[in-house]
Structure formats: structure tokens, C-alpha cells
Amino acid sequence: MLAKDRARTLRRWADLMIDHVDDLALLLTSEQGKPLAESRAEIVYAASFLEWFGEEAKRVYGDTIPSPWPDKRIVVTKEPVGVTGGITPWNFPMAIPAWKTLPALLAGNAVILKPASDTPLLALKLANLLHEAGLPGGVLNVITGPGVVLGDALVSHKGVNMISLTGSTEVGRHVAEICGRDLRRCTLELGGKNAVIVLEDADLDLAVESVSWGAFGTTGQRCTATSRVIVHKAIQHAFTDRLVAAAEKLQIGNGLDEKVDMGPLVNRGRVHAVHQYTQVGQQEGAKLLTGGTPLNNGDYSQGAFYKPTVFTDVSPDMRIAREEVFGPFVSILPVASYEEAVQVANATEYGLSTSIFTNDLRTTFRAMREIESGLIYFNAPTTGAEIHMPFGGVKASGNGHRELGTHAVEEFSETKSIFVSYPPKHK
Ligand code: UN1
């Protein structure tokens, strides 16, 4: 398609998503569990990607470079990679399929999308709406089923030129191994053990509100979720008391009930996995301040509910300070200085998102340099990606690629360097 036609299709797609926001949100909550307000926000968020990429679709530029040699020009063009495979998780069943599919389409590729088997419906809806918006048949294809069968088939298929995965670091290593063998390009967006650093001069109310949302929003099921709080000892107790109070105030229940703040985990297996970390924390000698139990009584018996859980006196070598829990679970690590906070923040194999609460200019600029993390926030939660910003992590949180924004289009493109010589005619 011509760039202007691609742009028009993507913009129509965005409008269709907004027209259907309530139906889509209802489906999302019914399938995934997050509260309706979060589901609506996710649809609007996904539609904003479509809108942004719809505008961007007209701006696929190349370069023309003068050569050091006379009578020669160099032209650099961007071309599609070919067929790309997207594998997406169940925590954002609409937003992540959108953010993987869009740059791939924009760069001119065909896409085969494999959504998580717990949440296939939104990806199917996304594809329906895109076809309604005018995408030709066969350009976006959705396949549904278990990852162990379909994921491996997709990742190792000789007709697939590139794989883009959002998932756990364990699955990422497996996908990278297969792609490595076949020299297939793969972009990986993996786990995190994201820290919020709360320093002595922090605005405590803001820090508590941000940690509560970062740790318990989406029931803690985000790669960017806050799972560690590294707090200066001088304000440790004031901060901890307020965080525990905020956690205990959250209304937990069926996401279809508009009064609910935190929905269930995605399935019962996840309740078991989170609860194991509570047991690990207790065995390791950390102090459980609140939560630490599944909710099973009454209406809760129908679902996969877990209480927001806060541990304190956690030390950096404990498993609950190092391993991704992916649930409403946060570990507090007290420190005595900014330097120690940075050392503790960097002491994990992950490096996705870190947030620092301070109003000190020197600390701010030092932290920008010293924190090992693909995303750094100041005075804000560890969550909240923005469409125009490169998104991704360092260390075991990824393999060096970045999603979203114009960077993402580059990831889904091949670069062709063309040398054109036009010497004078030989006699
Ligand atoms: C965000 O918190 O800003 O799987 C979005 C995930 C991420 C999206 C996070 N890919 O949680």
C-alpha cells in the first residue's frame, strides 16, 4: 500500500477502537480480570498508538549521502523484513498486540500474531477491526493456542523472518536460542524487578501513591510493576506505614464491579505462584507487614484473588529481592545513603524500569547515569510507557532492542545501502 493509504487505514482503525471502547473493555475485563476502568484505559491507550502510528505512516524516510568519491551518490532505503511473528502476553491483551503489530505493518511487513492462550479474544477483535478499517486480507493473521506448540512452530518456521516477543525472561531465552540457530532477527521484551528509590527529601504522599499504583495496579502483573522499594532509613517508617495503609484500603474483587480497585490474578496457577513467594519471604526472614494470603471466601471462591502483600526488612540477596513475582507483591529494602540505594537497585539480573523520588538536582543527574535500567522515571511510578518514547530494558530484561516510537519501525525494517556511480563516459 502507499504510505498515505496505510496512514488512512490506521487512523480508521483508531476511530473504530474508540467507537467500540465499552464493548472491548467489557470483553477485556471478562477475559483478563482487570477492573473496567483499567480496561477502558488500555483500549484508549492502544487506540492512541494507532493514531500516532497512523500519523507517522506518512513519514518513512531514507537518506541520501554524499560519497567521498566524485560522481558517486549513496542512497539508504528502508525495506520490510518480510513476515514477522508477534508473541504477546496476557497482561495487556489489547495494548501489546497493537504495539507490536503497528510498527511492523507500518514498515510494510505481514504479521502473524500469537496472543497468550489465556487471552486470545482481544487480539482477534483487534484484527477484525483492522480488516473493517481496510487492511487487505492476509496481512495480519492471528493464530490461537498453547505457546509450547504454536509458539515454537512460529518461532522456528523458515518462512518467518523476524520474531518479536513480550514475555518472561525464561521464554525469551528459549525463543532467542531458536532464532539464534536460524539467524532470525528477534526482539525480546522480558521480565523486570523494578525498584522505586525513595530518598530522604522525597514527597512521601506522592511516593506512596506511585508505589501503590505501580505495585498493585493491574494486580502487579506488568513487566514494569514496582516490586522493590529501596527506602532511606530516615523515612523508612513514615513511608512504610503509609504504604501499608494504602494497600489495606484497596477494594479487591470482580473487575466488572466499578467500585473495585484491584481485580484477580489471571488464573489460579498464578495465585499459587505468588503465594509460594510469600512462603519464600517468610523462610528467608523478611517481615510480612500485610497481605500474604489468597482470598477464598464467599464471592472470592469463584476467582483467583490475592491480597496486596508488603514485606519489609528485605535484603538484596533474598530471592524476593531478586526474582520477578508478577503479582501484587512488594519488597521494602532499607538503605542508609543514595550510594547504597543505587548499588541495591542495580543488584539484580534485570534492568527494565527504575523510579527515583527526589527533588535534588545533583542526585537526579547522577541517577540518570548510575542506574542500570532501560527506563528511568523521576517522581513517578515505574509504569506508564509513552508511545513516542523507546521502550525496553537492559541486562536480562531484553536483548537490546527498543519498542514503540520511530525506533520500533527501524526494528521491523531492513536497511539497504545503494551506491550509484555516474563517472564520465570512457573514450
Ligand atoms: C507500562 O507499564 O508502561 O508487559 C506498560 C508489560 C509491558 C507493558 C508495560 N510490555 O507489562
Angle (nearest 5°) at CA 60 between 57 and 64: 170
What is the rounded distance in angstroms from the CA atom of residue 130 to the CA atom of residue 412? 19
Q: Give the mean model confidence (pLDDT) for residues 323-341.
A: 98
> What is the average pLDDT score of the chain?
96
Q: Give the mean model confidence (pLDDT) for residues 344-372.
A: 98
**What does the block give as the cell for 331?**
519488597
Report how far ligand 1's centroid is from the alpha carbon of 224 (Å): 5
pLDDT in the model for residue 238: 98
pLDDT in the model for residue 358: 98
Q: State how far the alpha carbon of 311 is from the alpha carbons of 240, 279, 280, 318, 330, in Å.
A: 10, 11, 11, 12, 6
pLDDT in the model for residue 329: 98
What backbone phi and psi angles, to 5 degrees, belong to 169?
Answer: -65, -35
Atom number of ligand 1 nearest to Cα 95: 8
Residues that are catalytic: 189, 223
Whether residue 166 has its Cβ less than 6 Å from ligand 1: yes
Report how far ligand 1's centroid is from the alpha carbon of 8 (Å): 27
Please name the residue that has the C-alpha cell 475485563: 29
Whether residue 383 has its Cβ less than 6 Å from ligand 1: yes
What is the rounded distance in angstroms from the CA atom of residue 33 to the CA atom of residue 85? 26
- DSSP one-letter code for 150: I
Whether residue 89 has its Cβ less than 6 Å from ligand 1: yes
Question: What band does 1 get if pLDDT is binned at 50, 70 and 90?
Answer: confident
Atom number of ligand 1 nearest to Cα 221: 11
Q: State how far the alpha carbon of 372 is from the alpha carbons of 131, 177, 245, 279, in Å.
A: 41, 25, 31, 29
Whether residue 384 has its Cβ less than 6 Å from ligand 1: yes
pLDDT in the model for residue 2: 87
Whether residue 223 has its Cβ less than 6 Å from ligand 1: yes
Q: State the pairing for strand pair 140-142/162-166.
A: unpaired
Cβ-proximal residues to 31 (8 Å cutoff; 6+ apart), any chain: 93, 118, 119, 121, 122
Report how far ligand 1's centroid is from the alpha carbon of 424 (Å): 57
Question: What band does 66 get if pLDDT is binned at 50, 70 and 90?
Answer: confident
pLDDT at 284 over 90: yes
pLDDT at 3 over 90: no
The answer to whether 163 and 369 have CB atoms below 8 angstroms apart is no
Q: State how far the alpha carbon of 118 is from the alpha carbons of 106, 122, 390, in Å.
A: 28, 11, 28
Q: State how far the alpha carbon of 374 is from the alpha carbons of 202, 351, 392, 405, in Å.
A: 23, 6, 6, 15
Report how far ligand 1's centroid is from the alpha carbon of 182 (Å): 29
The answer to whether 87 and 166 have CB atoms below 8 angstroms apart is yes
Structure confidence by residue, pLDDT tens digits, 97-120? 999 999 999 999 999 999 999 999
Structure confidence by residue, pLDDT tens digits, 252-269? 999 999 999 999 999 999
**What does the block give as the cell for 265?**
490474578
Report how far ligand 1's centroid is from the alpha carbon of 425 (Å): 59
What backbone phi and psi angles, to 5 degrees, belong to 324?
Answer: -75, 125
Whether residue 354 has its Cβ less than 6 Å from ligand 1: no
What is the rounded distance in angstroms from the CA atom of residue 119 to the CA atom of residue 116? 6
Q: Give the mean model confidence (pLDDT) for residues 41-51.
A: 94
Atom number of ligand 1 nearest to Cα 382: 2
Determine the residue of 99, 223, 227, 389 to mutate for testing ligand 1's pocket, defined as the one with the most ligand atoms within 8 A of the Cβ atom: 223
pLDDT at 406 over 90: no
pLDDT in the model for residue 365: 98
CB atoms within 10 A of CB 207: 26
